[in-house]
Structure 1
Amino acid sequence: MHWDMHWDGFTAMERDVRALVADPRWALLPPLGRAQAIAQRALVTPDGSRWLFGALGRWYRLDRVDGRWHLSPPPLHPAVRAAARPQPPGVVVPHLLVPGGPDFAYDRGSTQGFVGPDVPREITERVRALLLAHRGLPREAFPLPEGPFREVFADDVTGAVAAVWGTIMWAAYAPAFDGNEVLLSMFGEFLARPLPGDDWVRWLPAGSLAALVDLYAERVRAGAQEAGLRLAGLMAETATVLRADARFRPRADALLAMAEPLLARPWLDHHALPGGAVREAWLARCPPHLAAAALPETAPGEHFRHSFYDLAEALGYTASRGMDPRSVAASLLAADVAGVCGAYEPSWAAPGASGTAEVVTALYPWIDDELRQALYVTLADPSHPLRGCWPRGGELPPALVPPDRGTAAAVLGSAYATGLAWCRLTGIAAPPAGFAVCSALVQCLIHQRDDPRPEAASNGHPRDPEESGWLFETRNTDISSLPPL
């Protein structure tokens, strides 16, 4: 068979699979027929790697060591892509990797962080309007229940303010924000203490759906169903505003799908209240085409894999510089793990080996053998070339500096999302001062800021020092205060 000199196997097969899944007849095929159709479109590259484009509109690579298919962005080198050929018959495609149809409709939004590219003013002003309209609700009718929000807000803050904040944090792809981000500064008067971070960035933890849902559930359990429904409606209103920004849209849509049905059918969660399963009832309402947005809640391991995939994709610019984006992503993951957990010592080396070894062991099942090797050698061998990807003196090495502001924001967002994902998966507390790689990426953006400095007015709204000025104070975070691994 003659192959055109411009043949790109990965582009061709992705286009073919997308056309198959978009065909109305795809839903009528039996599961075995679908699996066979995907298997016929698998690829093999010159190094013997096998690839297929499958569920959730992403690429998978067969691990020759454990025999499993792992999420993996495809190679970017033109010669490798041109040399890819259809895989001979015999590939077995697991059921979970076969596209169902709705999963291909998932809108992934943007992986950009909120550092550099501000949240658009039209969004912040609409959120401000919601906050102003609900901040005066009586505290006795909308109390702040015990839980994570009590650690964030002052004692006199109501559940309505927490509902707006919690929606923003849960919907954010990667909740690292400019220290002067208007979306945060409007909450300054409500917070109990400065947000973690420094004058440049607020490194915020991932939002908790359980805490958000409990604002509603606590009111309903207390017999104040109207108040509970008003909070659920406020979450839906806030999500509707946020979805105009691609960095919020996927998860905002998922939250809308979970909260909005209550406004028409207030009884929906009554069956879940006695057993404390309201969060699960909300997740059950998340439709198939938005299921990927809820992965942090339902499948932390899968969420880590997808976040790492995003990071490797965002690092695609390194391919033109002679580097492998996947290996670079593994090196940067290693830098952050070492920065949080300390120097690497193999788990077999001695009793009480480092927490880094335990974290690495926990991450191994979620990455393929090639990435395991890259992660291991980067951590274990200070002289390995991949160690050269690590930040030095708080800055990225010149070879890794992104080519433009948008790319830098995308790498920052995906790196922070990956950091939060592996911390969630392993039970490690995310560092309040930020991850090493993300902090270095900020240095690529702070000289290109498009917002006023903290001492300046924001969006035409002068800041009252008594109201929110302390929000911009530097918080000195002692890493040693983190809980033991």
Structure 2
Amino acid sequence: MRWDGFGAIESDMRALVADPRWSLLTPLGRAHAIAQRCLATPDGSHWLFGAHARWYRLDRVDGRWHLSAPPSHPVVREAARPHPARAPIPPHVVPAGPDFVFDRGSTQGFVGPDVPREITERVRALLLAHRGLSTDDYPLAGGPYEEVFAPDVTGAVAAVWGTVMWCAYAPAFDGNEVLLSMFGEFLARPLPGDDWVRWLPMGSLDALVGLYAERMAFGAHEAGLRLAGLMAETATILRADPRFRPRADALLGMVEPLLSRPWLDLHAVPSGTVRRAWLSRCPPHLAPATLPETSPGDHFRHSLYDLTEALTVTASRGWEPRTVAAALLAADVSGVCGATEPAWAPPGASATAQVVTWLYGWLDDELRQAFYLALSDPANPLRACWPRGGRLAPLLVPPDRATAAALLGAAYATGLAWCRLTGTPVPASGFPVASAAVQSLIHQRDDDPGPAPAPLRTVRDPEESGWLFETQNSDISPLPPL
């Protein structure tokens, strides 16, 4: 059996952190233990398997430990040898214990496969049970959901929708996805997307909390708690799909305590700190699911890590997934920033230069160099990784549907993460890499035909439902079944 330094150290660290004695060590003792298990590779890089059960690489320029997926090439992994770290190990790199048992779920997008029917039908039942509530008792209350839904839609419908969007790992949905189409009659305008995919923004915890907090501040405590209970019910249903599970579990950890102790947030309502109160209730082992809210930069790093893991197939084709991920990041930044300017960019400044400057600090020196070369040098070999004609480069073509769906989800999640970090508007037509990944999935049926579910209501007049019946002037044309 061949030696794999990264596999051996990972196994050793997992056993070490799982030992009950780990929690008894002082912070200095834990840092010393992890430092003794540092790996050195032939290129002079140093690696630690640390917090969140992920790898960190020592930046040779700034001397910091960066979250970074490990190399995949067998020769590099075999040549890695233990080499005690001399650089200080900061507290955020040292495993606390609970972070090692976090269930990361799946990075797949919702295009191949669809959300299972048993989930969609249970969500449909929630809408049927709560759609008739009064808008006076459950208003949208001026929040961002007013831009999504028609004026007569209640906060209860928005609570179900908001939970779905917040729990989704990467909200890129098949245009025919039942989980979205059941909301069609409630929407004020077409969802952003193209002929095959609805490219939706990441759900906002602020918006979700706002539905509940507005009712509590108004004195309608029963209505506020009912909305919180509806969010918990929706999250409980969604967690059966691994693409929803991590964030659904985190949301349940924040909301469920209210169902038995309804007074928990009363102290936070007057000061407007309900969101902070919710986040404080998230169990430690589920905290990574809230990184988009608590640390957008770390969330970007984890998303790029996921993208690197989704590119493992390129290792067998002679390419290092780490550098391929950096090249794909460059492709998306180039494609998006050429069409729009970040809100914070000074007048006349290059959007691409601004975003690159912002992202540099969140990449280790190796990824930073690959990112820069792919972005700045059209002749660089890394440009071979960029999509061409709306399709993936041959070296990236996935071998099966599951791999394609994972690449699609991870690429879209990474795009949303760097846009969130830099203040760049999310493109309504998707990111170049994720859009190209769709081409590997659109000709494969991913739904379960079965009997068509009954509509939530009968529409008698096409004018009544707006865009759903518009076939000539709609921004998005009717979609053929996959």
| Shared fold, TM over 0.5 | yes
Whole-angstrom distance in 2 between the partners of 1:54 and 1:394: 38
Whole-angstrom distance in 2 between the partners of 1:89 and 1:374: 25
* 1:403-422 correspondence to structure 2 within 5 Å: 403-422=399-418
In structure 1, the residue matched to 2:117 is 121
Whole-angstrom distance in 2 between the partners of 1:261 and 1:112: 30
C-alpha displacement at 1:383, in angstroms? 1.1
Whole-angstrom distance in 1 between the partners of 2:285 and 2:453: 39
1:272 aligned counterpart, secondary structure: coil
Q: Which of 281, 284, 296 is the matching residue for 1:285?
A: 281
Tell me whether 1:430 sits opposite 2:422 in the alignment. no
Q: Which of 90, 98, 110 is the matching residue for 2:106?
A: 110
Q: Which amino acid aligns with 1:470?
A: L
In structure 2, the residue matched to 1:460 is 452
Work out the percentage of aligned pairs sharing the same amino acid.
73
Whole-angstrom distance in 2 between the partners of 1:137 and 1:96: 46
The answer (yes or no) to whether the contact 1:185–1:468 under 8 Å persists in 2 is no
In structure 1, the residue matched to 2:190 is 194
In structure 2, the residue matched to 1:14 is 10
- Give the direction of change, closer, same or farther, for the CA distance of 1:366–1:471 in structure 2 (3 Å limit): farther
- Give the direction of change, closer, same or farther, for the CA distance of 1:468–1:20 in structure 2 (3 Å limit): farther
2:311 aligned counterpart, secondary structure: helix
The answer (yes or no) to whether the contact 1:151–1:192 under 8 Å persists in 2 is yes
Whole-angstrom distance in 2 between the partners of 1:178 and 1:378: 30
1:270 aligned counterpart, secondary structure: coil
Whole-angstrom distance in 1 between the partners of 2:85 and 2:440: 47
C-alpha displacement at 1:19, in angstroms? 0.2
The answer (yes or no) to whether the contact 1:187–1:468 under 8 Å persists in 2 is no
In structure 2, the residue matched to 1:248 is 244
In structure 1, the residue matched to 2:139 is 143
Whole-angstrom distance in 2 between the partners of 1:342 and 1:475: 27
C-alpha displacement at 1:458, in angstroms? 7.3
C-alpha displacement at 1:354, in angstroms? 1.5
The answer (yes or no) to whether the contact 1:182–1:458 under 8 Å persists in 2 is no
- Give the direction of change, closer, same or farther, for the CA distance of 1:96–1:161 in structure 2 (3 Å limit): same
Q: Which of 279, 304, 309 is the matching residue for 2:305?
A: 309
The answer (yes or no) to whether the contact 1:198–1:475 under 8 Å persists in 2 is no
Whole-angstrom distance in 2 between the partners of 1:36 and 1:376: 35
The answer (yes or no) to whether the contact 2:38–2:85 under 8 Å persists in 1 is no
Deviates more, 1:368-377 or 1:237-246: 368-377
Specify every segment of 5 or more residues in structure 2 that has no aligned partner in the other structure, as ranges.
341-345, 477-482
- Give the direction of change, closer, same or farther, for the CA distance of 1:15–1:459 in structure 2 (3 Å limit): farther
Q: Which amino acid aligns with 2:468?
A: W
C-alpha displacement at 1:370, in angstroms? 1.0
C-alpha displacement at 1:90, in angstroms? 3.0
C-alpha displacement at 1:95, in angstroms? 1.4
Tell me whether 1:185 sits opposite 2:177 in the alignment. no
Tell me whether 1:166 sits opposite 2:149 in the alignment. no
1:366 aligned counterpart, secondary structure: coil
C-alpha displacement at 1:400, in angstroms? 1.1
Whole-angstrom distance in 2 between the partners of 1:185 and 1:123: 14
Whole-angstrom distance in 1 between the partners of 2:388 and 2:296: 31
Deviations 1:110-132 (A, max 9, x none): 00000111101110011011110
Tell me whether 1:361 sits opposite 2:353 in the alignment. no
The answer (yes or no) to whether the contact 1:42–1:86 under 8 Å persists in 2 is yes
The answer (yes or no) to whether the contact 1:121–1:459 under 8 Å persists in 2 is no
In structure 2, the residue matched to 1:440 is 436
Q: Which of 257, 271, 276 is the matching residue for 1:275?
A: 271
C-alpha displacement at 1:367, in angstroms? 0.4
Tell me whether 1:470 sits opposite 2:465 in the alignment. no
Whole-angstrom distance in 2 between the partners of 1:55 and 1:294: 15
How much is the aligned-residue C-alpha RMSD, in angstroms?
A: 2.0
1:51 aligned counterpart, secondary structure: strand
C-alpha displacement at 1:94, in angstroms? 1.4
The answer (yes or no) to whether the contact 2:111–2:446 under 8 Å persists in 1 is no
TM-score, normalising length: structure 1: 0.92
In structure 1, the residue matched to 2:223 is 227
Whole-angstrom distance in 1 between the partners of 2:186 and 2:301: 36
Deviations 1:282-316 (A, max 9, x none): 01111110110000000000000000000011001
In structure 1, the residue matched to 2:379 is 383
In structure 1, the residue matched to 2:343 is none
In structure 2, the residue matched to 1:23 is 19
1:27 aligned counterpart, secondary structure: helix
C-alpha displacement at 1:93, in angstroms? 1.6
The answer (yes or no) to whether the contact 1:118–1:451 under 8 Å persists in 2 is yes
C-alpha displacement at 1:371, in angstroms? 1.1
Deviations 1:337-368 (A, max 9, x none): 11111199xxxxx9934100000000000001
In structure 2, the residue matched to 1:482 is none
- Give the direction of change, closer, same or farther, for the CA distance of 1:93–1:80 in structure 2 (3 Å limit): same
Q: Which of 65, 75, 79 is the matching residue for 2:61?
A: 65
1:154 aligned counterpart, secondary structure: coil
C-alpha displacement at 1:462, in angstroms? 6.1
Specify every segment of 5 or more residues in structure 1 that has no aligned partner in the other structure, as ranges.
345-349, 478-485
C-alpha displacement at 1:471, in angstroms? 8.2
2:139 aligned counterpart, secondary structure: coil
The answer (yes or no) to whether the contact 1:116–1:409 under 8 Å persists in 2 is yes
Whole-angstrom distance in 1 between the partners of 2:425 and 2:469: 22
1:327 aligned counterpart, secondary structure: helix
Whole-angstrom distance in 2 between the partners of 1:280 and 1:160: 22
Tell me whether 1:327 sits opposite 2:323 in the alignment. yes
